[in-house]
Amino acid sequence: MAEFDVVIIGGGPAGLTAALYAARANMSHMLFDQKGLGGEIMNTDLVEDYPGFATTTGRDLAEKMAEHAEKFGMKHELKGVKKIATDGDRKRIEMVDGTVHYALAVVIAAGGEPVKLGVPGEKEFYGKGVSYCAVCDGAFFKGSDLAVVGGGDSAVQEGLFLTRFAKKLHVVHRRSEFRAQAILQDRLFTMDKVEKVTPATVKEIGGENVVQWIDVVQDGTTRRIPLDGVFIFVGFTPLGRELFTDEHIEHDEGGYIITDQNMRTNIPGVYAAGDCRAQLFRQVTTAVGDATTAILHAERYIEELRHAKKTFPMASGEVIAETASAMEVVRFQPGATIVKEGDPTDRFYLVAKGDVEVVHQGKVLKSLRSGEYFGEVGLLTGAPRNATVRAKTSVELLAMDKAAFDRMLKQSAETRDAIASVAATRDV
Ligand SMILES: Cc1cc2nc3c(=O)[nH]c(=O)nc-3n(C[C@H](O)[C@H](O)[C@H](O)COP(=O)(O)OP(=O)(O)OC[C@H]3O[C@@H](n4cnc5c(N)ncnc54)[C@H](O)[C@@H]3O)c2cc1C
């Protein structure tokens, strides 16, 4: 068993970026991947849309990312994660091999996998005309005859993208009706170069070294369509949410984990980044961006957790984790007014770094330093601010709104009593 600040699940572009930032921030961390480092991109031939690398292979890019993270101290193990559960203010990470680790925060960067057709030729010609990503591979097929397989939004959207390059685009779907939005269908199917092949199923993909044809079954007969590439969009299975069996992690109908703009999930201390996250596009650039945000926010969350724990030692781990996730860091320069006497009381503040001074009717009453707090009197009584608080030095405060403050008091009677007794000693 080991304890970390952060555990990262997945060693694709998102996970490797998270590990790089964690290592550089000196966070104790561990990245786990069940297969090997690199993720989906290892299966991609050419990558031409990652800034700074005009043309590279997926493998080369992934290896460079791994080397880069290792150079700065990334720690990783090639092991699968089986289950994640909240245990107080920590996360319990159970591995496939039965070992258990603990971390204050977890970044889920488990990606996902495109659903395969499962027909002869699909595997053999992968990267040689068979693709699961139009944005990634479309540009290699300028002036070619192509097919898209699928009938949902992704198939039609990616099909639209491919029309920029294709001379002719066959859209093969097993039903006559498409599930994609009508507006997308209108755009695609009004183009002369686009032909619907429905209801039809792909039976085989073939050619000499590269894709040259697909066999489709339509009305009981098999027809061969000569072409240069086939793009398959019959679904994508995101991974990550299946790791949470004791608590609910919010996800959309496709199984993608829902986050806020800081990559936080609904579970305090759990972040999601990259392809497993609900978002519009799934690219290496979006994965590395997500991971950067996730780890930087996780670092902040862990700091908030430690402050909350120190200030409210009587609260349970779950309450501390929820409190920390509801806090926001705010900074003030020396002399700046933080709250003003007479203003409505809307937030509770915990001093994380530096000193503040409490001023009432022009007189400095006292100083508060790291670990002390203010704002509770107004929140407890509903009265306006009874004093002005100014930054004495540069200060960093953890702020909590009224809803989060009330929730904390409701969840922990000991914390409520401790705060009420501090409020009773205030001079104003
Ligand atoms: C054919 C193809 C071509 C593509 N080409 C491009 C391109 O040219 N440009 C571009 O920007 N994007 C491209 N993409 C998309 C790109 O690969 C993804 O957006 C990117 O890899 C997402 O990174 P990720 O880290 O979120 O997930 P992934 O790369 O999927 O990595 C997730 C990792 O998590 C691991 N994992 C999952 N579950 C567990 C578990 N329980 N325990 C431990 N490990 C686990 C997996 O083994 C995997 O290594 C392409 C995708 C495909 C399929």
pLDDT tens for 348-374 read: 999 999 999 999 988 999 999 998 999
The pLDDT of residue 1 = 72
Query: Is 120 contained in some domain?
Result: no
276 is catalytic: no
CB of 110 closer than 8 Å to CB of 242: no
Residue 391 lies in a domain: yes
Does 380 reside within a domain? yes
Residue 119 lies in a domain: no
Residue 212 lies in a domain: yes
Residue 42: what pLDDT? 84
Question: Domain check: are 11 and 92 in the same one?
Answer: yes
Pair (270, 357) in one structural domain? no
Q: Are residues 137 and 214 in the same domain?
A: yes
Closest-CA residue, ligand 1 atom 7, reads: 136
pLDDT of residue 99: 97
pLDDT, residue 347, reads 95
**Are residue 75 and residue 135 in the same domain, yes or no?**
no
* Residue located nearest, by CA, to atom 12 of ligand 1: 283
In ligand 1, which atom is closest to the CA atom of 33?
44
Among 189, 210, 232, which residue terminates a domain?
232
| Active-site choice (5, 133, 276, 290) | 133
In a domain, 319, yes or no: no
Q: What is the pLDDT of residue 281?
A: 86
As a whole number of angstroms, the distance between CA 181 and CA 196 comes to 16
Where is the domain boundary, 257, 277, 310? 310
Euclidean distance between CA atoms 156 and 311, whole angstroms? 54
Decide which of 310, 341, 356 is a domain's last residue: 310
pLDDT of residue 53: 93
Q: Which atom of ligand 1 is nearest to the CA of 32?
A: 43
Encoded tokens for 415? 């914390």
Based on the fold, state whether residues 288 and 212 are members of the same structural domain: no
Alpha carbon nearest to ligand 1 atom 20, residue: 284
Pick left, alpha or beta for residue 413 (phi over 0 → left; psi -120 to 50 → alpha; otherwise beta): alpha
Q: Which mutation among 136, 242, 281, 293 tests ligand 1's pocket best, with the greatest number of atoms within 8 A of CB?
A: 136
Q: List CB contacts of 6: < 8 A, sequence separation 6 or more.
A: 18, 22, 27, 28, 29, 103, 104, 105, 106, 107, 295, 298, 299, 302
Residue whose CB lies within 8 A of the most ligand 1 atoms, among 35, 99, 284, for a mutation test: 284
Ligand 1 centre distance from Cα of residue 229 (Å): 22
Instruction: Answer yes or no: do 9 and 83 share one domain.
Output: yes
Total of domains in the chain: 3
Contacts of 356 (CB under 8 A, 6+ apart): 338, 367, 368, 369, 374, 389, 390, 391, 392, 395, 397
Q: Which residue(s) pair with 231 in the sheet?
A: 131, 148
Q: 287 CA distance to ligand 1 centroid (A)?
A: 9
Asked if residue 164 belongs to a domain, the reply is yes
CATH assignment of the domain containing 59:
3.50.50.60
Which residues constitute the domain of residue 337?
327-424
Q: How far apart are the first and last CA of the chain?
A: 50
Residue 136 CA: which ligand 1 atom is closest?
8
pLDDT of residue 47: 85
Tell me the pLDDT tens digit for each residue of 188-202: 999 999 999 999 999
Q: Whose C-alpha lies nearest to ligand 1, atom 22? A: 275
| Residue 116 DSSP class | P
270 and 212, same domain (yes or no) = no
Q: 43 near 113, Cβ under 8 Å?
A: no
CATH number at residue 333: 2.60.120.10
Question: Which pLDDT score, from 0 to 100, does residue 173 have?
Answer: 98
Quick one: 258 and 278 in the same domain? yes
- 33, 89, 136, 145: the active-site residue: 136
- Ligand 1 atom showing the smallest separation from residue 243 Cα: 41
Ligand 1 center to 263 CA (angstroms): 17
Dist. CA 246 → ligand 1 center (Å): 26
Distances (CA, A) of 119 to 92, 279, 304: 40, 29, 52
**Residues 6 or more apart from 132 whose CB is under 8 A from it?**
114, 231, 232, 233
CA of 44 to the centre of ligand 1 (A): 10
Q: Among candidates 36, 113, 50, which has minimal Cα distance to 80?
A: 36
Does the active-site annotation cover 136?
A: yes
Question: Same domain for 267 and 244?
Answer: yes
Annotated catalytic residue, options 5, 33, 89, 137:
137
Ligand 1 centroid to Cα of residue 84, in Å, is 21
Alpha-carbon span 375 to 353, nearest angstrom: 17
DSSP state of 30: E
> How far is ligand 1, taken at its centre, from the CA of residue 8, in Å?
14
- For residues 260 and 228, membership in a common domain is answered with no
Ligand 1 is surrounded, with C-beta below 6 A, by: 9-15, 32-35, 39-41, 43-44, 47, 49-50, 80-81, 109-112, 114, 131-133, 136, 239, 274-275, 282-285, 287
Low-confidence ranges of the chain (pLDDT < 50): none
Known catalytic residue at 137: yes
Residues 267 and 226 in one domain: no
Are 28 and 100 in a shared domain?
A: yes
The answer to whether position 321 is within a domain reads: no
DSSP symbols for 52-90: TBSSEEHHHHHHHHHHHHHHTT--EE---EEEEEEETTE
